[in-house]
Amino acid sequence: MKRVSSHVSIASEAEINLDLSRLLIDKPRFTLERKRSFDEQSWSDLSHRHNDGFDSVAHSPAFRTGFESPFSTGSHFGEPSGPHPLVNEAWEALRKSVVYFRGQPVGTVAAVDHASEEVLNYDQVFVRDFVPSALAFLMNNEPEIVKNFLLRTVHLQSSEKMVDRFKLGAGAMPASFKVDRNVNRNTETLVADFGESAIGRVAPVDSGFWWIILLRAYTKYTGDASLSESPDCQKCMRLILNLCLSEGFDTFPTLLCTDGCSMIDRRMGIYGYPIEIQALFYMALRCALQMLKPDGEGKDFIEKIGQRLHALTYHMRNYFWLDFPHLNNIYRYKTEEYSHTAVNKFNVIPDSIPDWVFDFMPCRGGYFLGNVSPAMMDFRWFALGNCIAIISSLATPEQSSAIMDLIEERWDELVGEVPLKIVYPALENHEWRIITGCDPKNTRWSYHNGGSWPVLLWLLTAACIKTGRPQMAKRAIELSEARLLKDGWPEYYDGKLGKFVGKQARKFQTWSIAGYLVARMMLEDPSTLMMISMEEDRPVKPTMRRSASWNA
């Protein structure tokens, strides 16, 4: 297996300049070519055949008709033994989670745990939770539920959003919704939660980003751009982007967020500029850039997106990136530097580097930091943010390889017995008390504080495929297959290696089920990754034109 050195040099502004003319104009036709094995083939082999264009997405009959049923003709990782027994069990469980509204499927509930006495909000359809379910249905040639979900959430966006007499921004998307059935009147209505009922009363920032990403995935699969080009969806995108691209007092292109605004929905010290949100923000901007109509208001947003992407890419690749050489530089930082020539631009105190980082960071490998803001670097490794950075090409090819090198070198710590650690390491002792507010659910190596989440398997698999390391994904999937069904598809696992079913984990957690299915189907047919993955943006060399006075 070829490995790329992780000694990634900090990119210059010129090197990462985004060529908008390529993204908006140069869009060859996109077709999906089914492949049944993907041993050590690199993602670049596929990406050269499938351009990241959008407007000219071609409907591929071969791609769609290949999904008559899950793995109906597929094999077990290229072997003739047939589909794994877990696949049929997973599909049966996933279908039990489907929610219907006025006779139409509109999503999947968070969990179907009949053994749990407390329902809380696990009987609702969460925007972020539905994404792996949606991808599974798309890969299985069932786009109807995804289209219905996208349209229903668009309509919910226009609902009045009040939290304790305070009105949220018009572009905010719901965290979740449920179907309210009135038996006496024989009516059904959708009731959305924008954070007013959530634990901690935090509105989700990531819901809008996931919605844009899923809209692109739906259009990529179906080849039908009529949904994304509809007035409602165009307006929905503009409203989401308006919240993110508004000018203010920020001196950074990253998005300022509160704790609990993403998948990590409890207080975990991610206030500021968490990597998960920045990576999703970047990916949503690139997806919107492909789908917005370049007329009227759309034209203004396209220009704003281009400017923001340019600055955001430079900022993330330079200031959030950490590998061994960069860690050594931070270790030797001088403080109280002033002027544009300052090296330590955020005035990070070297003594604030936690001891564990020096042992954790291998000579080969790197990752995007959890958070960067004035006088603060969160050195924790966050799974979702780093995987999305690879999938969206926020990470350069060298950085993507370095992230995978790190996962390979620190397999026991990050993958363990059940993939995948949501964050590493866990907060403990006094630090845990201060940062989490003594949250009993977020004790060390549990839930969001270092717990292992099976849903992250699909993101890890996508990153493995894109970087040409399918054997890593295969190993992670096989680990999951040894536990998931036996343990009842739990929400998360506890312990340093993820050995124990989470002490408060729901069983038959829908995104644990869907995450496994998506991971398996991606590995069986890597072309499906094109729905969710973004190609690296390569600046196009300017065309050389002859002078009018030039004579042959």
- Whole-model pTM: value is 0.86
Q: Is 186 exposed, middle or buried (0-12, 13-18, 19+ CB in 10 A)?
A: exposed
Give the model confidence (pLDDT) of 275-288 as tens digits.
999 999 999 999 99
Chain position carrying tokens 């710590």? 413
**Mean pLDDT across the stretch 328-341?**
92
Q: Which residues pair with 326 in a beta bridge?
A: none
Answer yes or no: is 10 within a domain.
Answer: no
Shortest CA distance to 68 belongs to which of 136, 138, 140? Answer: 140
Which range among 31-35, 68-72, 246-250, 317-321 has the greatest average pLDDT? 317-321
**Residues 6 or more apart in contact with residue 21 via CB below 8 angstroms:** 540
Angle made by CA atoms 300, 302, 308, in degrees to the nearest 5: 105
Residue 212's closest CA among 201, 223, 227? 227
Band of pLDDT at residue 548, cut at 50, 70 and 90: very low
The residue-averaged pLDDT of 290-299 equals 93
What is the distance in angstroms between the CA of the first residue and the CA of the last residue of the chain? 51
Q: 67-76, 99-108, 169-178, 403-412: which range is least confident on average?
A: 67-76
In a domain? residue 107: yes
Residue 198 lies in a domain: yes
Which has the higher per-residue pLDDT, 9 or 99? Answer: 99
In a domain, 49, yes or no: no
Instruction: Return the bridge partners of 179, or none.
Output: 190
Judged against a pLDDT cut of 60, whether residue 297 lies above it is answered with yes
Tell me the two tokens of residue 82. Answer: 């047939």
Return the half-sphere exposure (C-beta side, CA atoms, 13 A cut-off) of residue 488.
Answer: 13
Write out pLDDT tens, residues 344-356: 999 999 999 999 9
Dist. CA 379–CA 159, nearest whole Å: 39
400/390 Cα distance (integer angstroms) = 6
Structural domain contains residue 422: yes
Residue 202 · residue 260 · CB < 8 Å = yes
Nearest to 257 by CA among 148, 359, 379, 172: 172
- Give domain status of residue 390, yes or no: yes
> Residue 191 corresponds to which amino acid?
V
Beta bridge partners of 381: 424
Helical segments of 7-143, H only: 20-24, 43-47, 61-65, 85-96, 127-139
Domain that holds residue 519: 85-531
| Beta bridge mates, 66 | none
DSSP three-state, residue 514: helix
DSSP 158: T
pLDDT of residue 88: 95
pLDDT higher than threshold 50 for residue 159: yes
Provide the residue type at 498 as one letter. G
State how far the Cα of 148 lies from the Cα of 154, in Å rounded to an integer: 10
The count of domains in the chain is 1
User: Is 72 domain-assigned?
Assistant: no
- CATH code for the domain of 343: 1.50.10.10
Kindly state the helix (H) or strand (E) to which residue 239 belongs, with its residue range.
Answer: helix 231-245
Helix intervals (H) in 246-274: none
Q: 431-438: long-range contacts (C-beta < 8 A, 24 or more apart)?
A: 435/267, 435/268, 435/269, 436/266, 436/267, 436/268, 436/269, 437/267
Give pLDDT, residue 112. Answer: 94
Closest CA to 384 of 501, 265, 218, 286: 265
Mean pLDDT rounded to a whole number for the chain: 86
Q: Is position 195 within any domain?
A: yes
Sequence-ordered alpha helix ranges (H) in 320-410 = 324-331, 355-360, 383-391, 397-409
Task: Give the pLDDT band (50/70/90) at residue 82.
Answer: low
| pLDDT tens digit sequence for 417-472 | 999 999 999 999 999 999 999 999 999 999 999 999 999 999 999 999 999 999 99
> Quick one: CA dihedral 226, 230, 232, 234, positive or negative?
positive
Please state which of the ranges 40-49, 400-409, 507-516 shows the lowest mean pLDDT.
40-49
Ramachandran angles phi, psi of 312, nearest 5°: -65, -40
Q: What is the mean pLDDT of residues 306-328?
A: 97
